[in-house]
Amino acid sequence: MTLSEMRRWMTEHDLRLTKSLGQNFLHDGNQLRRIVQAAELDPPGPVLEIGPGLGPLTELLLAARCPVMAIEMDQRLVTILRQRFVDHPGLNLIQGDALEVLRNSETDWTGYKVVANLPYSVGSPLLVDMALRPTAPSLIVVTLQLEVAQRIRAKESTPEYGLLSLLLGWRYAAESTFRIPASCFFPPPDVDSACIRLRRRPVPLVEGEQIDRFLQIVRQAFSQRRKMMWKLLRTIWTEETLAPAFAAAGIAREARAEAVGLEQFVVLAHQLPANSSTSIPENNPVIN
Ligand code: SAM
């Protein structure tokens, strides 16, 4: 879909873009093809696309013979998409807020790949939600703000490292990324973008009830970045319980969470017992 085709659809439908919905449409054919290539769609399989917009990515996914479930919030775009892909048997188009639709869905996503140029305002919570699903998609190839992609890939002791790296890292390995210049979008966004690929780990680093513990530990540890992690976790576990867990994970008592790696948090989640006195929020906090 070229920029002039996009303009034509927008003019015909008198469509004024809504900034709060992150409506920056990707019109650069090379970048669209790179995204599709990164998604490894040969052989074709089911794809979930969030925020199809005018459908530049959708048309390539359908051309790759993938059945596409697409969730678009803006009814005006849904109307256009229905015209563009009229009666296409491969497209299942759903109007709604992807966060809500996914939270209420009972679909088994195990065999799905997520391929999307995400609405930036909901990108991080969507990804964290997906990682937490018992049936998480096998591969996620998404375009996000460059800064968010960097946070997802970050390692300990770097400024970008934090909750987001950990909330996704236990379930997904962050692979390649490539930058997408603002000029490839219409209208160009104020921030740089990047496409990132996340591959579901063959075995999650934490499983069963350890998942809740892992979430509890990392949220508490990053609740005050500048504070020693030991002191923050002492509000939940006793010194006698924490000491052997810290020793097993090789974490110094003086360490701050930002210097503690994913694997070390995993060891803590394996070592520390459940603590019923502290509850874990049901939904993810906004971590944009
Ligand atoms: N995929 C298209 C492209 O590459 O040109 C559009 C991408 S645009 C960055 C994000 C799209 O997500 C917009 O079409 C917007 O209307 C839609 N959107 C925004 N918030 C949404 C939400 N919560 N659920 C579903 N779609 C949403």
Report the CATH number that the domain containing residue 217 is assigned in CATH. 1.10.8.100
Mean pLDDT of 154-171: 96
Band of residue 288 on the pLDDT scale cut at 50, 70, 90: very low
Please check whether residues 196 and 213 belong to one and the same domain.
no
Nearest atom in ligand 1 to 25's CA = 5
Domain of 32 in residue numbering reads as 3-200
Please check whether residues 54 and 134 belong to one and the same domain.
yes
Nearest atom in ligand 1 to 27's CA = 5
Ligand 1 atom 4 nearest Cα: 26
Distance 21 CA to ligand 1 centre (A): 6
Is 38 within a domain? yes
Is 285 within a domain? no
Distance 97 CA to ligand 1 centre (A): 10
Angstrom distances, CA of residue 107 to CA of 51, 164, 203: 18, 25, 21
Query: Is 122 near ligand 1, meaning CB less than 6 Å away?
Result: yes
Mean pLDDT of 28-52: 97
pLDDT higher than 90, residue 116: yes
pLDDT (tens digit per residue) in 173-204: 999 789 999 999 999 999 999 999 999 999 99
Please check whether residues 219 and 267 belong to one and the same domain.
yes
Query: Is 59 near ligand 1, meaning CB less than 6 Å away?
Result: no
Please check whether residues 181 and 264 belong to one and the same domain.
no
Please check whether residues 108 and 179 belong to one and the same domain.
yes
pLDDT higher than 80, residue 284: no
Pick the last residue of a domain from 145, 178, 200.
200
Number of domains in the chain: 2
Band of residue 285 on the pLDDT scale cut at 50, 70, 90: very low
Is 100 within a domain? yes
Nearest atom in ligand 1 to 120's CA = 9
Please check whether residues 26 and 107 belong to one and the same domain.
yes
CB distance 125 to 99 below 8 Å: yes
First-to-final CA distance of the chain: 30
Q: What is the pLDDT of residue 281?
A: 44
Pick the last residue of a domain from 140, 169, 200.
200
Is 20 within a domain? yes
pLDDT higher than 90, residue 121: no
Is 276 within a domain? no
Residue 155: how many CA atoms within 13 Å on its side-chain side?
Answer: 2
Distance 142 CA to ligand 1 centre (A): 12
Is 284 within a domain? no
Mean pLDDT of 70-84: 97
Cα–Cα dist 60/225, whole Å: 43
pLDDT higher than 90, residue 139: yes
Mean pLDDT of 72-89: 95
CATH number of the domain to which 18 belongs: 3.40.50.150
Is 66 within a domain? yes
Pick the last residue of a domain from 178, 200, 222.
200
Please check whether residues 133 and 254 belong to one and the same domain.
no
Query: Is 97 near ligand 1, meaning CB less than 6 Å away?
Result: yes
Q: What is the pLDDT of residue 274?
A: 85
Ligand 1 atom 6 nearest Cα: 53
Angle between helices 123-132 and 146-153 (to 10 degrees): 30
As beta bridge partners, residue 117 has: 143
Ligand 1 atom 3 nearest Cα: 25
Nearest atom in ligand 1 to 122's CA = 23
Please check whether residues 228 and 133 belong to one and the same domain.
no
Q: What is the pLDDT of residue 279?
A: 43
Is 182 within a domain? yes
Query: Is 125 near ligand 1, meaning CB less than 6 Å away?
Result: no
Please check whether residues 76 and 217 belong to one and the same domain.
no
Mean pLDDT of 258-284: 79
Nearest atom in ligand 1 to 116's CA = 1
Lowest mean pLDDT among 17-21, 90-94, 147-151: 17-21
Please check whether residues 37 and 105 belong to one and the same domain.
yes
pLDDT higher than 80, residue 280: no
Please check whether residues 213 and 183 belong to one and the same domain.
no
Please check whether residues 228 and 102 belong to one and the same domain.
no
DSSP string of 198-265? Answer: EEE-SS-SS-THHHHHHHHHHHHHTSSTTSBHHHHHHTTS-HHHHHHHHHHHT--TT-BGGGS-HHHH
